[in-house]
């Protein structure tokens, strides 16, 4: 919340500075009896390009259009001033707008356009002194050019650095997603192998019973039908999130289940941190294997985050509840956010990205956030009964990772 409020204050400050500078520019032109239309058009177009809210921005207003058109208008205004030999006063508002557009161009324009739009904005900024100095040999003109070059380099460098940070972050998230998909592919292999092996065994039994015990063959055939249905449901629920697999994906790691959660909590407990596992007796043992594996991963990731980010927690509660055909898994701690681990071991929050993808692939819901008093909770809800005979809806894997 503090970071969001700080970002809002920074944006408000930038908006206030730009509006004040634009008002100052127009007042200068009016006080000296100059035509207000050319500077007003340049300033208002540039101001709209900088301050237009992203959520209300039409699709045609691309970053290259936002940054290129105001710079082009500024260059045309400068050219007209040189042709008419009209001496103009320095306007800080237009310079501030061009600097803002230079930042947008370098950071947000597509790669083929970033350099072109950035150069155009930089040239428009460096050409401003030509409006109010008779010659570039004047000391004021040289000083203005030097200041312009320094500001252009500073803003371009800052925007380029932030662009590289964005790229590295997206690359890390993409790699996390790819790794998680490989893990899900391994799970899919295990699920199918489990069910298909059962089908094979029961089919062999049915063939042996077909000749001399026909009255006992119906239960075997029913078991084959049930195993085949579960195998198809497992594949349909899981394959929706697979976009990339590797030749060694099937050997990636074993799959956990609800029974393994007890061993997981026992191994996590320490003399300082007590872990309590509260399992509702109503939780069935025969939930779909992919649901059990996902529940295991939720507990595993949540306990890992407790160790990383809440080293001062004294009690961790793991709950498994089953109600109305849905399994709820929650992990809550009473920590205040203290940790004795070094900063490099805290992680970048990408574990929750993959976890969110896994949970939504099973038509579930994942929530992570602070508790009312103190502490943190991770809670996931999975479909239980419905998931046994119906496939989950396809998940939109590209839309959920940010938020985690």
Class assignment of domain 255-388? alpha beta
Q: State how far Cα 123 lies from the chain centre.
A: 35
Instruction: Find tokens 């004021």 and name the residue.
Output: 140
What are the structural domain ranges in the chain? 15-132, 178-250, 255-388
Question: What pLDDT is recorded for position 271?
Answer: 64
What pLDDT is attached to residue 382? 92
Q: State residue 61's pLDDT score.
A: 87
Question: At 323, which helix (H) or strand (E)?
Answer: strand 315-323
Residue 193 and residue 289 in contact, taking contact as beta carbons nearer than 8 Å = no
Per-residue pLDDT of the chain (404 residues; tens, 9 = 90+): 444 455 556 667 777 778 887 887 778 777 666 777 888 888 889 888 888 888 888 888 889 999 999 999 988 988 887 887 766 666 788 888 999 999 999 999 998 899 999 999 999 988 888 777 655 556 666 777 788 889 889 999 999 999 999 889 888 888 887 777 777 766 666 566 555 655 665 666 666 666 666 666 766 666 676 667 766 666 665 665 554 444 444 434 445 788 888 888 887 766 667 889 999 999 988 888 888 888 988 888 888 778 777 767 888 999 999 988 899 999 999 887 655 444 443 444 446 777 788 888 888 999 988 887 788 899 999 987 544 444 444 333 333 333 33
pLDDT at 141: 66
Closest CA to 230 of 201, 195, 204: 195
Count CB-CB contacts under 10 A for residue 324. Answer: 6
d(CA 362, CA 197): 23
Can you read off the two tokens belonging to residue 193? 């192998």
3-class SS letters over 185-202: HHHHHHHHHHHHHHHHHH
Task: Look at residue 400 and give its three-state secondary structure.
Answer: coil
Alpha carbon distance 50, 35 (integer Å): 24
Cα 191 from chain centroid? 29
Q: What is the CA radius of gyration of the chain?
A: 31
Question: Any idea what DSSP says for residue 342?
Answer: -
Q: In this structure, how many other beta carbons lie within 10 angstroms of the beta carbon of residue 151?
A: 18
Local structure of residue 134 (DSSP, 8 states) = S
Q: Whole-angstrom Cα distance, residue 305 to residue 111?
A: 37
The reported pTM is 0.48
- Answer left, alpha or beta for residue 124, where phi above 0 means left and psi between -120 and 50 means alpha: alpha
In this structure, are strands 326-333 and 376-383 parallel, antiparallel, or unpaired?
A: antiparallel
The DSSP string of 77-119 is HHHHHHHHT------HHHHHHHHHHHHHHHHHS-HHHHHHHHH
Largest Cα–Cα distance of the chain, in whole Å? 111
């Amino acid at each position: 919340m503090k970071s969001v409020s700080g970002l809002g204050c920074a944006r408000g400050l930038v908006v206030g500075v730009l509006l004040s500078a634009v008002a100052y520019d127009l007042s200068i032109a009016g006080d000296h009896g100059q035509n207000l239309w050319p500077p007003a058009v340049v300033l208002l177009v540039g101001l709209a390009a900088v301050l237009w809210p992203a959520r209300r921005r039409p699709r045609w207003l691309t970053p290259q259009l936002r940054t290129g058109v105001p710079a082009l208008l500024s260059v045309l205004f400068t050219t007209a001033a040189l042709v008419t030999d009209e001496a103009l006063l320095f306007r800080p508002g237009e310079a501030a707008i061009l600097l803002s557009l230079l930042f947008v161009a370098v950071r947000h324009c597509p790669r083929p356009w970033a350099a072109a739009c950035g150069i155009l904005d930089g040239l428009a900024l460096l050409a401003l002194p030509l409006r109010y100095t008779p010659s570039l040999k004047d000391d004021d003109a040289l000083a203005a050019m030097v200041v312009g070059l320094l500001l252009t380099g500073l803003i371009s460098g800052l925007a380029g650095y932030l662009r590289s940070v964005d790229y590295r972050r997206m690359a890390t998230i993409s790699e996390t997603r790819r790794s998680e998909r490989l893990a899900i592919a391994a799970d899919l292999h295990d699920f199918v192998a489990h069910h298909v092996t059962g089908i094979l065994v029961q089919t062999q039994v049915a063939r042996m019973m077909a000749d001399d015990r026909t009255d006992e063959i119906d239960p075997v055939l029913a078991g084959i039908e049930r195993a085949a249905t579960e195998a198809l449901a497992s594949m349909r629920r899981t394959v929706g999130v697979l976009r990339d697999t590797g030749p060694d994906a099937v050997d990636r790691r074993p799959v956990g289940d609800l029974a393994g959660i007890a061993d997981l909590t026992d191994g996590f407990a320490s003399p300082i941190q007590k872990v309590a596992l509260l399992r509702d007796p109503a939780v069935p043992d025969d939930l779909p294997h992919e649901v059990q594996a996902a529940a295991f991963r939720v507990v595993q990731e949540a306990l890992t985050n407790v160790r990383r980010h809440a080293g001062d927690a004294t009690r961790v509660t793991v709950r498994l509840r089953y109600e109305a055909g849905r399994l709820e898994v929650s992990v809550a701690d009473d920590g205040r956010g203290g940790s004795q681990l070094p900063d490099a071991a805290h992680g970048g929050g990408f574990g929750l990205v993959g976890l969110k993808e896994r949970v939504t692939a099973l038509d579930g819901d994942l929530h992570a956030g602070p508790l009312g008093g103190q502490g943190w909770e991770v809670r996931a809800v999975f479909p239980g009964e419905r998931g046994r005979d119906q496939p989950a809806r396809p998940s939109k894997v590209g839309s959920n990772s940010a938020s985690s």
